[in-house]
Amino acid sequence: MARSGRLSSLGDQRENGRQQILDVIRTTESIARIDIAKATGMSPATVTSITAELLSAGLIEEVAPDASAESRRGRPRVALRICGKARLIAGIKVSHHLISAVLTDFVGEELASHEMPLSQGRMPVQDLCTQILRTLEIACQKGNLSINDLSGVGVGIAGMVDAERNFVYWSSSLDERNVSLGDALAQVLPCPVFLDNDANLVAKAEHLFGEGRTCENFIVITIEHGVGMGIVIDGKIYRGSRGCGAELGHTKVHLEGALCQCGQRGCLEAYVGDYALLREANLSSGGARHATLASLFEAAQNGDAVARSILDRARRMFAMGLANVVNIFDPSKIILAGARLSFDHLYSDKVIEEMRHWVVQVDAPLPEVIVHDWGDLMWAKGAAAYGIEEVTTQTVKELANAAA
């Protein structure tokens, strides 16, 4: 029954202590030293020593004690909080025809933002880097901030991303495969870059300030040009061993089925994506042709049988995909996130109703399904949250190296 355990050194312990204390302070917004000791199980002496270090590094600051009920009972306690001015962070979301940027302080407060349309969906890596830089520069100008003060940039992009290596295996925004986008961005930006799949960052945003705040196990499904998924297990994003997990859009729902933009057949995306609907709408001989989704939706609403049949199948396929997610993860919550406008047929009560029929039937309440449509700027805020997290980890490592 032997299994090799990972043994951690005392130096690691101190590093973990710094990270743990920063996490507790961030989560509680402000907290006294003695309560940090209680929350972490560390000795008061250790907490005093580590917080002194974090104070002198400027990462946290003291809050003057207020006259609240709790503090009146004894000696007023000085609380600690994250120092907003400690770092300037940016979050970027690369969509198919838009770049969204948000600037936040180290607490996560938004300072400025900018959105820039892209003339093309798919482009060379250098062009994408230039566009991201320009979007950031304009956002900085708007907020009267200097881009050189940035400590970190979180970037979310659709596709197969290995977050650990800042590496893009494939993205619908890039015209080649296997791009070290993190490295390329680092050459034009004055600070570290942290790259992740965009659906993962929506999941992070939902966890930090959205519908997943009170939930440690939930699934986010994003519908845009393609279908994305973010998985939160025990409060952490699940990425898979190569960073290529959560590809719900490319799970197969039909053996040798419809052709997908990925080149394979039978992918869920090839039935519910916008391109899949337009493909059918344009080929249908029984009804009128439709150049846009809006026209297809209108025809369906007006009773056009072919248009209805196209949307019906998409809806049923999507319900089946959702049911498969429930059958595999049995999550406590599913959040459908994305730009609502184009995908109303997939957000309907009918989808959720059909999903219920295809879920393994047990006499227990089904997961809650929530529709949460928010704009690209919220996705960018998720990217900024990722940036804050990674900059915190990096800073803790620097403190550890300085102490060693």
Residue ranges in 266-305 that form contacts with a second copy under rule CB under 8 A? 266
* Residue 250 near a second copy by CB under 8 A: yes
Determine the 3-state secondary structure of 118 from DSSP.
coil
- Interface stretch with a second copy, choices 135-143, 187-195, 304-312, 313-321 (CB under 8 A): 313-321
CA distance linking residue 302 with residue 155, whole number of Å:
42
Which residue of 19, 71, 251, 348 would you call a contact of a second copy, by CB under 8 A?
251
Question: What residues between 191 and 220 interact with a second copy by CB under 8 A?
Answer: 207-209, 213-214, 217
* DSSP conformation class of 380: H
CA distance linking residue 64 with residue 385, whole number of Å:
27
Helices (H), 117-268: 125-143, 181-188, 198-209
CA distance linking residue 257 with residue 380, whole number of Å:
35
CA distance linking residue 180 with residue 337, whole number of Å:
28
Least distance (Å) from a second copy to the CB of residue 1?
5
* Residue 9 near a second copy by CB under 8 A: yes
Closer of 264 and 309 to a second copy (Cβ) = 264
Phi, psi dihedral angles at 25 (to 5 degrees): -65, -40
Least distance (Å) from a second copy to the CB of residue 396?
16
Which residue of 91, 182, 228, 331 would you call a contact of a second copy, by CB under 8 A?
331
- Interface stretch with a second copy, choices 47-55, 126-134, 278-286, 317-325 (CB under 8 A): 317-325
Judge residue 200's burial from the number of C-beta atoms within 10 Å of its C-beta, 0-12 exposed, 13-18 middle, 19 or more buried: buried
Question: What residues between 224 and 243 interact with a second copy by CB under 8 A?
Answer: 229, 233-234, 238-243
Question: What residues between 345 and 374 interact with a second copy by CB under 8 A?
Answer: 357-358, 360-365, 367
Least distance (Å) from a second copy to the CB of residue 245?
4
Closer of 133 and 359 to a second copy (Cβ) = 359
In 158-301 the beta strands, taken as DSSP E runs, fall at: 160-162, 167-170, 193-197, 218-223, 227-233, 236-237
Closer of 111 and 147 to a second copy (Cβ) = 111
Interface characters, 144-173, with a second copy (x: CB under 8 A): ----------------x-x------xx---
Compute CA 173 distance to the chain's CA centroid, rounded to the nearest angstrom.
17
